Structure 1
Amino acid sequence: MSLAEELLADLEDEENEFSEEENEKVNEESMDTSVPDNPIVKYDRVTDIAKLSNSENFKTQISKMDEMLALKEIPKLMTPLEIDPQYQLVVKLSELASEIDTEINIIYKFVKDKYQKRFPELETLIMVPLEYLACVKLLGNDIKTKGQNKDLLSGVLAPSNCIVVSVTASTSEGQELTSDELDIIREACDMAEMLQGTRNRMQQYVEMRMNLIAPNIAAILGSGSTAMIVSQAGGLAQLSKMPGCNILLLGQQKKNLIGLSSVSALRHTGFIYYHPMVQSLPPDHRRKVAKIIASKVVLAARVDFQHESRNGAYGLRFKEEIQKKIDKLLEPPPLKNIKPLPKPIDKASKKRGGRRVRKMKEALGMTDLRKNTNRMGFGDIQEDINQEYMGHSAGMNATGSSGTGRIRAAVVDNKTRVKMSQKLQKQLDIPRFSGGLSSIRTKATAGTASSISFTPVQGLEIVNPTAREEVKKDDNSGYFSSISNFQFVKPSLPK
């Protein structure tokens, strides 16, 4: 092998690796059949770019499909399934359906570039290609009068779109098209309408054969939804290779803005999400159930692709599993168990005794004073006495005749009275025995002694009540003072 051949082989290997990486990235963007947004105004007629309707393959497959649709009875399938003409036709029509979608998008781009001269705002109001083409064919050059006729617009557009288009058409400042330009645009619209009608007939044929080709998928979704999914995926083989997350996106409407709010627009919703099985559920559970159905459709597609279970037994079993999961989601949460109260205990629980417990009972028990208060003498008339601690009556504690108002002094119980701790008692005794100062008042002067005295000379005179004590203190502060220290100490005599 020469050097040039080796370099070419390396380039081919790199291209193969790159293509494999691209094929593995199957996502939402890869399934988009829209064409790149490049201007194609330079083409004069739509047949210069849209050549599918005039191709031999298109005409051959459509003629075969019309012959099959004209048959009164559906012929039986041949085994193996790959050699059956009906199955081969279904596979080819599925591939042709994706080509038709691409062709319609090309025509939509062609008409949009041609018609923006007359009504440039229309492409921002209507994003669905078929609705845009139908509206262009209806309006033509007369957008002022036909654009205001809501009855005509309601035949091709939704009511919300009709209002937006009619308001915008009244203020549009586009230029009128010539008759030749208008004929070219109408020719393109007619071609797109013809292709869409052909695609509908293809879907009808595939739907009639779905019970024979994909019985397990049809058992889950029905023949109609199965035909749409198989047709959108490009055949049963491509459908069996897709993951469930991508099957969930088949048939989604990505561009459906009409100039209004897009808050209510649901993303990542396709044929499965709008299936009656999903739409019959509450909105909170729809997306989750759609994912469950998509995962089961993948399994059923792989079973059908291997030509097993031709009676749809696997599909029926998958549908039962889906229904069980739906019932599980919809069932209310379990109620909390109501626990009964425990059986009441008649006997009092035994408490451990001891010295500490006995002292606690004595401290918290009823005193003799309270017991006597609750008692009353036989035949004695009691007097209501308002007291703060003993209630309205003194009971047996009252002494003397009734009405005296005197109450016998309370008997102090040494067990319940407030006691001073030994530590606090020692702290109070230290200043008293040591002769030091204390915060406790120890002077002989009474607390009621006044510092004001009456004299015959000056009348009121302010005196010091402790003056006598100060004088006595001065007399004893000399040599015989009890608190004085040695004043002079002679040094020791030398030896």
Structure 2
Amino acid sequence: MGSPTIKHDSQTTLSEGTSREASEEAPNGSSGHPSVRNVAKLWHSSRLRDTMAGIRKYQEDDSRRLVGMVEEDPEYKLVVQGNRLIVDIDNEVILLHKYLRDVYVKRFEELETLTTNPYTYARALKAIGNHEKITESLLDGILPPAVIMVMVTATLGPPLDPEALENAKEGADMLLSLEEARDEILGYVESRMGMIAPNLSALVGSATAAQMIGSAGGLTSLSRMPACNVQVLGANKVASNMGFSKATVQRHIGFVYHADPLKDMQGDLRTKGVRILAAKCSLASRVDVARTSEDGEMGRGLREQVEQKLEKLQEPAPNRGVKALPAPDEMPKKRRGGRRARKQKESLQMSEMRKAQNRVQFGVAEEEILDGDEMVGLGMAGSAGVESGKIRASAGDKRKVGMSKATVKRLRTMSGTSGGGSAHGLSTSLVFTPVQGIELQTPQAPDPSKRLKEINEGWFSSMARFKKEKDSTGKGSN
């Protein structure tokens, strides 16, 4: 794989000692901004220079393979160092972009809002410089035509002094050189992932595998991590650490979230896919450490399993079918109730005495009685209501007692009567009289008072007349 060439300026090819002396002796410019070499020092560092030299050395030999332990191989150490260097380059680019904006804001303030990419900002700054007017030919190939049309009509500020402009251009050259170095390092790391971690690269892609190994501190460290920690590698913790709102911050958005197998998934399904893929990444990293599948066959098998599970998650729910309505039931239903229900209702109903107690007669003082420690009003159940005879203490049962024919017949037999007009079966022989008290009498015997009344009306009545008796001849005599 061919490596991109890094274009060095006359001011960026200084040796380390010369750059250190220049950065120590360089004073602030006339505009009040420090020199760009005091802000960004990574480009002139020996670490970047040694890493780039090692990358070019190993890129010439593409047929080299790892032998023995992965952690002890010098090329593996170079790959891990390249991963860490990519992170440092990104931080350096942020510092340089901020420095360029602070310096060039007096000349063109709207450039910061029209170009948000740091590399595009640096290219536009070098093209515009101190030109009195922006033309389309200056920015052709750097910005889209719509943005160029806006810049042509924009108003420029006063030109920068030569020293400030020189610092801005030097910072822009340094930023673009860092971009080229980053691309070269990233391309080398991705190309070596197939040799260092073939199964992990086959599962999540070379770029994601390189990021995960660099963030974990090595392949061995990654293999020792549980799946719950693998899925949060590379997660952004700025909002939680700086006290910003967490309402819009998504959790567990790391390198695995942006892996190739999960790019087409949305919403909650992607979150479930992160958990599935993180578990397989743990297995693939352990296989790479053990060097049991150097051709990446195990990683391709794990990726097929992940894709099958993701397709299963995206399938719609199975159709349960249309359930038929039940047959209409238009038959009259049996009413609930009956004798048992009526008895229960009657046993719980309010008595006449309680109903009268709840009523109060208008214009009449209510009678009260002492019930324990409190006075209870009697309402219309007082002495006035009782004396009037309109209130009964017990309601009584107005229903007739039902008896079967066998019971009636048995009672008649016991009472000694067979006719229907005689005494009732429930009649008793005990009678209360005002003179003699309790008397025992036979129900079937005739009443003596009625017999005495008939005799008196026959012989001693005032309306009675003499009767004529018949003799033996059949003639009556007076």
Residue equivalent to 1:131? 120
Residues 66 and 140 of structure 1, relative CA distance in 2, 3 Å threshold: same
Instruction: State the secondary structure of the residue aligned to 1:94.
Output: helix
1:146-161 alignment, distance < 5 Å:
146=135, 149=136, 153=139, 155-157=141-143
Q: CA deviation at 1:177?
A: 1.3
TM-score by length of 2: 0.51
Q: CA deviation at 1:326?
A: 0.9
Q: CA deviation at 1:331?
A: 1.2
Instruction: State the secondary structure of the residue aligned to 2:66.
Output: coil
Q: Distance in 2 between matches of 1:330 and 1:286?
A: 10
Name the % identity.
34
The correspondence for 2:184, drawn from 185, 201, 213, is 201
The correspondence for 1:332, drawn from 296, 302, 316, is 316
Instruction: State the secondary structure of the residue aligned to 1:83.
Output: coil
The correspondence for 1:80, drawn from 69, 72, 88, is 69
The correspondence for 1:92, drawn from 78, 81, 84, is 81
Q: Mean Cα displacement is larger for which, 213-222 or 171-180?
A: 171-180
Alignment size in residue pairs? 310
1:369-448 alignment, distance < 5 Å:
none
The correspondence for 1:217, drawn from 200, 203, 208, is 200
AA at the equivalent of 2:199: N
AA at the equivalent of 1:247: L
Q: Distance in 1 between matches of 2:264 and 2:325?
A: 44
Residues 302 and 331 of structure 1, relative CA distance in 2, 3 Å threshold: same
Residues 341 and 109 of structure 1, relative CA distance in 2, 3 Å threshold: closer
The unaligned stretches of length 5 or more in structure 1 are 1-38, 255-263, 357-495
Q: Distance in 1 between matches of 2:249 and 2:132?
A: 29
Q: Distance in 2 between matches of 1:341 and 1:95?
A: 67
The correspondence for 1:53, drawn from 43, 51, 69, is 43
2:162 is aligned with 1:179: yes
AA at the equivalent of 2:38: D
Q: CA deviation at 1:197?
A: 0.9
Q: Distance in 2 between matches of 1:123 and 1:239?
A: 40
Residue equivalent to 2:59? 69
Q: Distance in 2 between matches of 1:303 and 1:324?
A: 21
Is the contact made by 1:244 and 1:291 (CA closer than 8 Å) also made in structure 2?
A: no
Q: CA deviation at 1:114?
A: 1.4
Q: Distance in 1 between matches of 2:238 and 2:283?
A: 25
Residues 248 and 81 of structure 1, relative CA distance in 2, 3 Å threshold: closer
Residue equivalent to 1:116? 105
Q: CA deviation at 1:208?
A: 1.5
Is the contact made by 2:232 and 2:255 (CA closer than 8 Å) also made in structure 1?
A: no
Residues 176 and 182 of structure 1, relative CA distance in 2, 3 Å threshold: same
Any idea what the Cα deviations from partners look like across 1:43-67, whole Å, max 9, x if unmatched? 6432233222222232222111112
2:303 is aligned with 1:322: no
Residues 143 and 79 of structure 1, relative CA distance in 2, 3 Å threshold: farther
Any idea what the Cα deviations from partners look like across 1:135-183, whole Å, max 9, x if unmatched? 322322237424xx3x765734467xx53x7536734452211333222
Any idea what the Cα deviations from partners look like across 1:258-296, whole Å, max 9, x if unmatched? xxxxxx999986665554433334667445434543454
AA at the equivalent of 1:180: E
Q: CA deviation at 1:125?
A: 4.3
Any idea what the Cα deviations from partners look like across 1:169-227, whole Å, max 9, x if unmatched? 73445221133322221121111111111111111111111112112211212224433
2:232 is aligned with 1:246: yes
Q: Distance in 2 between matches of 1:332 and 1:140?
A: 58
TM-score by length of 1: 0.50
Specify the structure having the higher radius of gyration (Cα): 2
Instruction: State the secondary structure of the residue aligned to 1:82.
Output: coil
AA at the equivalent of 2:107: R
1:456-467 alignment, distance < 5 Å:
none
Q: CA deviation at 1:234?
A: 6.1
Q: Distance in 1 between matches of 2:130 and 2:297?
A: 58
Any idea what the Cα deviations from partners look like across 1:335-356, whole Å, max 9, x if unmatched? 1145578999xxx9xx9xxx99
Is the contact made by 1:203 and 1:228 (CA closer than 8 Å) also made in structure 2?
A: no
Instruction: State the secondary structure of the residue aligned to 2:71.
Output: helix
Q: Mean Cα displacement is larger for which, 100-109 or 326-335?
A: 100-109
Q: Distance in 2 between matches of 1:245 and 1:167?
A: 43
Residue equivalent to 1:141? 130
Q: CA deviation at 1:42?
A: 5.5
AA at the equivalent of 1:246: V
Instruction: State the secondary structure of the residue aligned to 2:232.
Output: helix
Q: Distance in 2 between matches of 1:290 and 1:154?
A: 42
Q: Distance in 2 between matches of 1:214 and 1:199?
A: 21
Instruction: State the secondary structure of the residue aligned to 1:336.
Output: coil
Is the contact made by 2:215 and 2:233 (CA closer than 8 Å) also made in structure 1?
A: no
Is the contact made by 2:203 and 2:299 (CA closer than 8 Å) also made in structure 1?
A: yes
AA at the equivalent of 2:47: N
Residues 66 and 296 of structure 1, relative CA distance in 2, 3 Å threshold: same
The correspondence for 1:104, drawn from 79, 93, 110, is 93
Q: Distance in 2 between matches of 1:51 and 1:113?
A: 18
Superposition RMSD in Å: 4.9
AA at the equivalent of 2:106: K
Is the contact made by 2:231 and 2:274 (CA closer than 8 Å) also made in structure 1?
A: no
Residue equivalent to 1:415? none
2:260 is aligned with 1:280: no
Any idea what the Cα deviations from partners look like across 1:342-384, whole Å, max 9, x if unmatched? 999xxx9xx9xxx99xxxxxxxxxxxxxxxxxxxxxxxxxxxx
Residue equivalent to 2:277? 293
